[in-house]
Each structure stands twice: as C-alpha cells, then as structure tokens.
A = this chain, B = another copy of it.
Amino acid sequence: MVIKEYVTYNQVHKLCQEAAPRILEDFQPQLMIAIGGGGYVPARILRSFLKKSGSPNIPIQAIGLSLYEELPSKHPSGSNTPGQVEAPGTKVTRTQWLDLTSLGEMENLVGKRILIVDEVDDTRTTLEYAVKELEKDVEAARQKLGAKGEKTVFSIFVLHNKNKEKKGLLPDDMLNDNRYLAARTVGDVWICYPWEATDIEEHDELARQQGSK
C-alpha cells in the first residue's frame, strides 16, 4: 500500500518561509528558475520571503518540464517481470525553456547565482535534466564571451526530497557545496499537494488527522 502524505497550502507557505533565511544567506540567488507546474507555487511564495526591503523582487523565469516514464516493451525477452510497474528509462520533455529575448541573451546569466525551484525531488530525473541543460547553455554563453566570465552557480530548493534511490544525478560540487536544500526529507510516500486536491477541506482534514497521529 502506498502511503499518502497530505500537505496543506499553509504548510507549503511555512516550508518556504522557514527555508528563506538559509537561501538568502547561503545561496544569495539573483534569479529563480521555477520548474512548472509544481515549482510555480513554491517559487511565488519564496519570492515574497526572499525580497529585501528596498530591493526589487528576485525575478522568476519559469521553465516547463514533463517527465514521461518510458513504458517497458512488453515481454522484452519473452519473460515479463510481474509487479514491474515502473520503467527504468525516463524521458524529459521541455514544454517551456528560458526566454532569452527578455533575459537579454544567455550571456547575462554568466557568473550569476541561480536558484532552481521545484516541489518534489522524487527520482531526481527532472532536476538532473534541468541542471545539466542549464549548465550547458550557460557554459556555451561563457565560452562565447571568451571563457572570461565567472562560472554560474546553481542551487536547488525543493519542498520535499524523497529518501529513495535516485535515477538522476546532480553535480558532485553542488552536493558537496551544500547547494541543495529540501525543506523536508520524507520516505518514498505519495505526497498530495493542495493544488491537486479536488476537495480542499477534506484534504486539510486528512492532513490534520495525519499531524495528530
């Protein structure tokens, strides 16, 4: 049986609030990249808590990534594994990428500190894709500048990290330098985010019951 964990909007709000001081101190982001759709809500909330009085908001660029589990071909060698519900291969599709006309060329990201925001780190496939592709794009821009600019520093914030074997990998230096922050680390549970709730009152009630257990 899959265990469900219900998270309310106010809990999401507080997770962002709680993480903000560390993000400001350690990551000092100059730009957020929200991975949509799940990253939209935490990124918007974070923006409020990252704003320093007198300074403008940290801009958000949204990107859209969809994760398709590649279905295993049936009976690949004549024998099917019973109970095999998850395929080993996965494919990430871009539904939106950075808008360079507004960023004013990718070169503007060279040497910047960029915070990637998503709701959950499940298999890590999407995050690996995002970091790799962004690093590639920015490094190409740095080379175009004659490799003179400083390296762009990426960090990650997610609401929940599932403590499980990951299919995707993040750069060693990102993990070593502590540029990965999950507000909460959970088991391999099914996290029910409020924006997916059909009945938000029932959702909150289930979260409340869970909390009092």
Chain A interfacial positions (CB closer than 8 Å to B):
8-10, 13-14, 17, 34, 36-38, 40-41, 43-45, 47-48, 57, 59-62, 64, 94-99, 101-103, 194-198, 200-201, 204
- Quick check: A96 and B62 within 8 Å, CB to CB? yes
Between A and B, 29 residue pairs with Cβ closer than 8 Å are: A9-B13, A9-B194, A13-B194, A13-B197, A14-B200, A17-B200, A34-B62, A36-B44, A36-B62, A37-B47, A37-B60, A38-B44, A40-B41, A40-B43, A40-B62, A41-B195, A48-B197, A48-B198, A59-B64, A60-B64, A60-B95, A61-B64, A61-B95, A61-B96, A62-B62, A94-B102, A96-B102, A96-B103, A97-B101
**In the complex, which of the residues A44, A59, A61 has the most CB atoms of chain B within 10 Å of its own CB atom?**
A44
Complex CA gap A196/B16 in Å reads 12
- Quick check: A200 and B10 within 8 Å, CB to CB? yes
Complex CA gap A201/B40 in Å reads 22
